[in-house]
Amino acid sequence: NAGVMQNPRHLVRRRGQEARLRCSPMKGHSHVYWYRQLPEEGLKFMVYLQKENIIDESGMPKERFSAEFPKEGPSILRIQQVVRGDSAAYFCASSPGTGGSNYGYTFGSGTRLTVV
Amino acid sequence: RKEVEQDPGPFNVPEGATVAFNCTYSNSASQSFFWYRQDCRKEPKLLMSVYSSGNEDGRFTAQLNRASQYISLLIRDSKLSDSATYLCVVNWGDSSYKLIFGSGTRLLVRP
């Protein structure tokens, strides 16, 4: 049973380009959570999605960032017109239902975005 | 005040030492508490949950003091492989899904 799969592992983008980060949840999980870790900081909640629904995007920057979790396929975190400050590690976790934080999450291996 | 606060360290200890990390959290409504371990440039991995009565897993002991909003992790008989950053993690208030991470305490275990 594969864990949470994220790709790519490393992504380099020039300023102004778009970055698309993918997260495939564990089998049978329909809830996905994205977190961002800036250098030397802890992880920060970005967004919580269920299939075809955004439940809480309170941690998402107001501009340039969007997330989706379609009926079929992985969850996508999209960053438009990237800037150097977007350079970070982006981690995804999943759970089978609500209450996932009661048990802790298992994270994917993350995508390290570098903006040059 | 930070939502979850930890001493960044580093704690530099010899093999076999006992080391303790502390963490405070600001939201008194929080109900779930965890310690995660993060190796350099890797994803955080759940080390253990923290229960009100305190709990132990091998060489690791976690304690929770709700009145003081304080969590601790004790590592006995440190191994070289324990070198990592330890993240204190708390769910946000009564949220069933939002976790708040501390910035981590770095541990270096030397031979």
pLDDT digits (tens, 9 = 90+) for B49-85: 998 888 999 999 999 999 999 999 999 999 999 999 9
**Cα–Cα distance between A7 and B5 in angstroms, integer?**
31
Residue A17 CA: distances (Å) to CA of A12, A69, A90, A91: 10, 22, 17, 20
Q: Give the mean model confidence (pLDDT) for residues A71-97.
A: 95
Cβ–Cβ under 8 Å, residues B61 and B73:
yes
Record: contact B32-A56, CB cut-off 8 A: no
In A, residues 19-78, which contact B (CB 8 Å cutoff)?
A: 31, 33, 35, 40-45, 48, 55-56
To the nearest whole Å, the CA of A92 is away from the closest chain B CA by 10
pLDDT-derived band at A1 (thresholds 50, 70, 90) equals low
Confidence bin at B109 (pLDDT 50/70/90): very high
Sign of CA dihedral A49, A9, A60, A38: positive
Dihedral sign from CA coordinates of B102, A98, A48, A69: positive
Q: Which residues of A touch B100 (CB under 8 A)?
A: 45
CA angle A87, A42, B52 (to 5 degrees): 160
Q: What is the rounded distance in angstroms from the CA atom of residue B13 to the CA atom of residue B21?
A: 13
Computed over every residue of chain A, the mean pLDDT equals 93
Phi-psi region of B54 (alpha: psi -120 to 50; beta: other; left: phi over 0): left
In chain B, % of residues over pLDDT 90: 82
pLDDT, tens only, A24-43: 999 888 899 999 999 888 89
Report the pLDDT averaged over residues A51-59: 93
Contact residues, chain A, for B31 at CB < 8 Å: 102
SS3 of residue A84 by DSSP = helix
Q: How many angstroms separate the CA atoms of A94 and A27, rounded? A: 9
